[in-house]
Structure 1
Amino acid sequence: MRIQIPYGKETLEANVEDKRVVGVINSKLDTFSAGKGEHELISDAMQNPIGTAPLCELAKGKSKVVIIASDHTRPVPSKLIIPDMLREIRKTNPRVDITILIATGCHRSTRKEELYDKFGEELVKKEKIIIHDCDSTDMKYLGKLPSGGELWINRLAAEADLLIAEGFIEPHFFAGYSGGRKSVLPGISRRDTIYANHCAEFIEDPNSRYGQIKDNLIHRDMIYAAHKARLAYILNVVINSAHKVIGAFAGDVELAHKEGVMFLESLCKAGRIPADIVVASNNGYPMDQNIYQTVKGMAAAEKTVKTGGVIIMAAACDDGCGGDAFYKIFSHAQSAQDVLDKILKVPRHRTQADQWQAQIMARILSQHAVILISKCPEKMVKNLHIVPAFDFKDALAKADRILGFNNGTITFIPEGITSIIQ
């Protein structure tokens, strides 16, 4: 059997004996046909918003409009979305002051070439674009989150006459789903606000998992933050593996997002196919830019790998580890269990940088060996308590050695972060 796995901007081919493969978990995103083109889907969504007036109506009489846009780590087709949003706003308010605010959360700042790639050079040069800095002092306090943390967000957004957001909806490994309310928290929030929301207690909660919103404490904080920020309108899309829009949902931050989630679930839900070895990806570029992000693919594989089994992750990781604090947490620890034990003792309001990602990876590593096929230096990978591999053949041989037998069953999840495994 030959299986193509997204790997950076290319694909990695996995060759394996048929008898060892017990299943391939795929979403239906690539086989779904909307019957309309991307522009038409986005336009239709904007003309038929869910739970709000059209954007052109919302923009009437407003002085300052802020559009929250995703950053370089998200494959949102902003080149399609943002121009339509700008046109709608200026249709009824041609002289309005518009700022595009890049929602970086705690990520590094988006580089100019990444802005060009995301929006197009012409738009970047023409429009006012500000990149959010979670450590900036120019924030505004909006009260207490349900979790007790302080809600601080970017002042530009807090003082806008109209705050709107673009984004995309995919399964998320602790918020349930991306999109919607996540544009505000973590997108444009202050570092300590994000940390309070991503605390060890909430990450450990069994409801903080892929495809789970009900009783999800992290989601509860995020919804609260979106409403306090007065996020009035969202335009979220669902995309396939080629990053093409197959569904668009506009309107109220909760109602439109809910419709998008229901659409996504109809295409992405899948049952478990337990196996000794689970091979997954992080959906290729831009989601597999670094090891930090690949924890999402590991969390998908965790749902179906057998107890004591091995996870093989295929992720290019051209950007290396992707977090100094994340790296130090593991490189200074004796074991993954040691990392997990220490993090679980951290109080809710003492959360440290990258703690949540480290907690999830430590949870997985404490139960399973993880082998990473990447472009990262071996030493870096080993210091994260992960087994490095050069290619799939090398990874499979190492998995067999770890298991102690050569006929272990294998499940493939070619696009690890778009499959909601129940």
Structure 2
Amino acid sequence: MNEEDIKIIKIPYGDKEMQAYIPATSFLFNGEMTKFSPIEDFERILLDKLEHPIGCEALKSQVKKDDKILILIDDNTRVTPVNKILPVLIKYLTNDMGIPLENIEVLTAPGTHRVMTEDEIVEKVGEEIFKTVKISQHDFTDKNALIDMGTIEANGMKFPIHVNKKVQEVDYIIGLGNIIPHSDAGYSGGGKIVQPGICGSATTSATHVAGALMERIPLGNIEDNPCRKGIEEVAKIVGLKFIINVVMTPDGEVTGVFAGDFIKAHREGAKLAAKVYGVKIPELADIVVVSSSPCDIDYWQAEKGLISAYFSVKKDGYIIFVAPCYEGLVHNHPKLIEWAKASYEESKNIVGKIPLDEDEADLVAADIAMGNARVRERAKILIVTEGLDDKEISILGYKKIGTLQEAVNYALKEIPGGKVGVLPRGGDCLPMIISATHMTSGK
């Protein structure tokens, strides 16, 4: 085969890169994102956004000098530049507004993820903030840290509100976050810093199950999304007053800052996120090679790559899932492996009979497993990984392959002449089918 007859495909694997050779005639697309420039003078722009927010008055007009402020931040599974935002925000609150530093507390909002190590917290907030500002961690497994704020209804579903009790000990809540496509909530950011950020398992079960039961995976879909609606109703009751959300470039630079009302500012940010993370593909591929990048820490995060591949592959095609899963399957959700054994329809039937507050059932894990079931029922999955053992891979429904080249060879042998698409950043991309004859991403 001549050199011009060969196409080299490259894909991230953690901080490394894998590559494989395919026939040039088999190459269909490389789902790269559009280049966006980072903003200049981040501090100046952020201060301007605090003074001229979206959908509400300036932050200084809303907060009193003796108010107790709670700032919610995401965890180490998210790339929000908290260490850049917090110094500017806290200086604004203390120096410009005269709020005592002891009136400000930072609360990590990891949802049902594990709590962070001290080193991870320092990296997240920066050494100066770590030394000078009170920082607490939300742990959804600590029932004594939760309060019951009743029940709300959204899209015909009831959502119990079990939330960290610190929200009733403060006067004003600010949430920080990053906006990217999300398979349940449509997009991350906004009210998600409250739910699931600082909620108990029953509340998170409700919103996630609402997303899992939708007719189609709601990646990139905010409208008519009961998961997003539930999240925002919970955040409203809890008292989220103001958000500072960013949209990042794939290179980790801030390209947009959106501050203000947690719904209105989030919607504007989501518009930019769709442009930044959207990847246009000409048609569905027979074989999709997808990396979990940048969501490589464990399978719980890595599955986002599979969801992106779901919207890019033909029915009964192949997905080659390149995912290191450095910390294994998942933290805090041992039931995931049990839920993963069921088909999507089986899970739907079981979920409908389980009370949302039945912690032993772990309906949050059911949501992740149902997402996986939808993907594996659409396409066959080959996985290249070092973090999952053979039993886990078998229950998830995949076939383990040693290298990317071996996986590509296997898939092309099964589908001779198959068209190959590549999603280098499956963990946060939003596939958009150009052809009107095919489905589009999550919409």
State TM-score, norm by structure 1.
0.91
Alignment of 1:147-186 (within 5 A): 147-186=157-196
Q: What is the aligned counterpart of 2:57 among 35, 38, 53?
A: 53
Q: What SS is found at the alignment partner of 1:345?
A: helix
Residue equivalent to 1:193: 203
Residues 11, 85 of structure 1: CA spacing in aligned structure 2 closer, same or farther, 3 A cutoff? farther
2:346 is aligned to 341
Identity rate of aligned residues, in percent? 27
The 1:206–1:155 alpha-carbon spacing in structure 2 relative to 1, beyond 3 Å, is same
Greater CA deviation, 44-53 or 310-319?
44-53
**Match in the other structure for 1:288:** 296
CA displacement at 1:327 relative to structure 2: 2.3
Q: Match for 1:409 among 416, 419, 428?
A: 419
C-alpha separation between the residues in 2 aligned to 1:340 and 1:295? 19
Match of 2:319 among 299, 311, 314: 311
SS in 2 for 1:344: helix
Closer/same/farther in 2, CA of residues 175 and 122 from structure 1, 3 Å limit? same
- 1:125 — aligned with what? 131
Pairing partner for 2:393 from 381, 401, 411: 381
For residue 92 of structure 1, what is the amino acid of its counterpart? M
Distance 1:324 1:178 in 2: 24
Letter in 2 for 1:116: V
Q: Distance in 1 between matches of 2:8 and 2:187?
A: 31
- Kindly indicate whether the alpha-carbon contact (under 8 Å) linking 1:378 and 1:388 is maintained by their aligned counterparts in 2: no
CA distance in 1, matches of 2:235, 2:353: 21
For 2:202 and 2:67, locate their aligned partners in 1 and report how far apart those are by CA, in whole Å.
Answer: 30
- Deviation string 1:186-220 (CA, Å, 9 cap, x unpaired) is 11111111112222x54121365111111101111
Give me the whole-angstrom Cα distance separating, in 1, the residues matched to 2:345 and 2:117.
Answer: 33
Tell me which amino acid in the other structure corresponds to 1:247.
Answer: G
Q: How does 1:243-254 map to 2 (within 5 A)?
A: 243-254=252-263
- Cα distance in 2 for partners of 1:316, 1:103 equals 25
CA contact (8 A) 1:292 1:321 kept: yes
1:400 lines up with 2:418 in the alignment: no
Find the aligned partners of 1:292 and 1:248 in 2 and give their Cα distance. Answer: 28
Partner of residue 326 from structure 1, selected from 330, 336, 339: 336
Change (3 A) 1:48 1:283: farther
Structure 1 match to 2:221 = 212
Could you tell me how far apart the structure 2 residues matched to 1:226 and 1:62 are? Answer: 23
Q: Is the 8 A contact 1:373 1:390 kept in 2?
A: yes
Structure 1: how far apart are the matches of 2:205 and 2:398? 25
Matched, 1:143 2:150: yes
Match of 2:85 among 81, 84, 98: 81
Offset at 1:413?
A: 1.3
- For 2:76 and 2:267, the matched residues in 1 are separated by 25
| Cα distance, 1:308 vs structure 2 | 0.1
- Partner Cα distance (2:276, 2:37) in 1: 11
CA gap 1:159/1:398 in 2 versus in 1, 3 angstroms: farther
Q: More deviation in 39-48 or 71-80?
A: 39-48
Structure 1 pair 36–256 and aligned structure 2 pair: CA distance change class (3 A): same
User: 1:168–1:21: structure 2 CA closer, same or farther, 3 Å change rule?
Assistant: same
Any idea what the Cα deviations from partners look like across 1:95-149, whole Å, max 9, x if unmatched? Answer: 1511111111111111112112212233223221111111222222222121212
- 1:42–1:313 Cα change, 3 Å: farther
Shift of 1:348: 6.4
Contact kept, 8 Å, 1:372 with 1:387, in 2: the verdict is yes
Q: Indicate conservation of the 8 Å contact 2:329/2:388, yes or no.
A: no
Which of 42, 54, 76 in structure 2 is aligned with 1:72?
A: 76
SS at match of 1:264: helix
Give per-residue Cα distances to partners, 1:239-277, cap 9 Å, x unaligned: 112221111110110111011011122333344521111
The one of 130, 140, 149 equivalent to 1:134 is 140
Q: 1:122 to 1:243 in 2, by over 3 A?
A: same
Deviations 1:165-187 (A, max 9, x none): 10000000111000001111111
User: Which one of 367, 378, 381 corresponds to residue 356 of structure 1?
Assistant: 367
**1:17 aligned partner:** 23
Distance in 2 (alpha carbons) for counterparts of 1:156 and 1:223: 19
- Structure 1 position 87, deviation (Å): 1.2
Equivalent residue number for residue 95 of structure 1: 100
**Unpaired runs of at least 5, structure 2:** 1-6, 433-439
Residue 274 of structure 2: which of 265, 274, 292 is its match?
265
Does the 8 Å CA contact 1:340/1:363 hold for their aligned counterparts?
Answer: no
What's the offset of the Cα at 1:283? 2.5
The alignment yields a C-alpha RMSD, in angstroms, of 2.1
SS of structure 1 residue aligned to 2:247: strand
In structure 2, the residue corresponding to 1:133 is in which secondary structure?
A: coil
Alignment correspondent of 1:7: 13
Contact 2:347–2:370 (CA<8 Å) still a contact in 1?
A: no
Code of the aligned partner of 2:190: G
Q: Could you state the TM-score of these two structures normalised by the residue count of structure 2? A: 0.87
Structure 1: distance between partners of 2:168 and 2:401: 46
Letter in 2 for 1:239: M
